[in-house]
């Protein structure tokens, strides 16, 4: 996996391998930025002793402060509390979770996310308007936010669409299919501008909400440099 990520994106990543989801999350951050940490059933206890309480997902500052008030500042000290003491301090759900987590116990299933069919951003304008320059500025800001989501999802898009909600609550949409899948912010902005111009032809009703979306999503392929995404 590490080699494939490096080959496709020129970036490094850290990987954690363990018997459960909680430990794998912790292990993946154990030797950043290019680490590989394996936690076996035999060394879970030893691995947990190397961590701080704050390294465990779900044990935040407030939880640590509450534990510190009881002179509990390490995982080893936290293990001295029985489950009933933790439930008394944090409630049944959180207390049970902490009791298990500090021992590296987790039964949360690993689920595969269903592929996203589209990504979108929508915003209510600070004032209703039909002015192209004003709407264009808002649209381009949405494009930039949407592009960050696209990068986060590691997807390319082939269709761009815009959505206008007018002050009478009627809607107007425009969309365009691109020749090839792309990840280009410039292309997203260019097509969105064109669609906005088309939508505003003979427009008299004020626009209240504005949205932009991409669809026909596909996995990133053939990209050699992350700078080519912008």
The architecture that CATH gives domain 118-229 is: 2-Layer Sandwich (3.30)
- Please tell me the predicted confidence (pLDDT) of residue 221: 63
pLDDT in tens, 113-172: 767 789 999 999 999 999 999 999 999 999 999 999 999 888 899 999 999 999 999 999
Residue 12 burial (CB count, 10 A): 12
CA 194 to CA 175: how far, in whole Å? Answer: 10
| Nearest Cα residue to 212 out of 137, 153, 130, 154 | 137
Q: Which fold has domain 2-101?
A: DNA polymerase; domain 1 (1.10.150)
- Please tell me the predicted confidence (pLDDT) of residue 148: 94
- pLDDT for 225 beyond 50: no
> How many residues are listed for the chain in this entry?
230
- pLDDT for 176 beyond 50: yes
CA 170 to CA 134: how far, in whole Å? Answer: 20
| Nearest Cα residue to 184 out of 146, 211, 216 | 146
| Burial of 165: CB neighbours in 10 Å, binned 0-12, 13-18, 19+ | middle
Torsion angles phi and psi, residue 55, rounded to 5? -75, -15
**Tokens coding 184:** 């280009």
Domain residues of the chain, as ranges? 2-101, 118-229
- Please tell me the predicted confidence (pLDDT) of residue 228: 42
pLDDT in tens, 29-62: 988 888 999 999 999 999 999 999 999 999 999 9
- pLDDT for 227 beyond 60: no
Q: Are 174 and 198 in contact (CB under 8 A)?
A: yes
Beta bridge partners of 194: none
Q: Three-state DSSP class for 210? A: strand
- pLDDT for 223 beyond 80: no
- Please tell me the predicted confidence (pLDDT) of residue 1: 87
């Amino acid at each position: 996996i590490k080699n494939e990520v490096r080959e496709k994106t020129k970036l490094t990543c850290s990987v954690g391998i363990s018997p459960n989801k909680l430990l794998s999350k912790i292990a993946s951050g154990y030797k950043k930025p290019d680490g590989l940490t394996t936690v076996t059933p035999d060394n879970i206890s030893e691995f947990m002793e190397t961590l701080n309480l704050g390294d465990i997902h779900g044990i935040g500052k407030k939880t640590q402060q509450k534990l510190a008030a009881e002179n509990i500042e390490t995982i080893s000290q936290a293990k001295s509390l029985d489950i009933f003491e933790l439930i008394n301090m944090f409630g049944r759900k959180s207390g049970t979770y902490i009791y298990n987590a500090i021992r590296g116990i987790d039964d949360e299933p690993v689920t595969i996310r269903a592929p996203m069919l589209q990504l979108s951003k929508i915003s209510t304008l600070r004032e209703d308007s039909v002015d192209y320059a004003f709407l264009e500025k808002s649209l381009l800001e949405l494009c930039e936010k949407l592009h960050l989501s696209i990068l986060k999802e590691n997807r390319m898009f082939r269709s761009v669409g815009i959505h206008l909600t007018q002050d009478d609550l009627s809607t107007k949409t425009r969309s365009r299919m691109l020749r090839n899948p792309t990840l280009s912010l410039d292309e997203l902005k260019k097509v969105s501008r064109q669609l906005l111009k088309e939508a505003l032809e003979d427009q008299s009703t004020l626009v209240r909400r504005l949205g932009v979306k991409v669809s026909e999503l596909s996995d990133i392929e053939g990209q050699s440099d992350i700078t080519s995404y912008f």
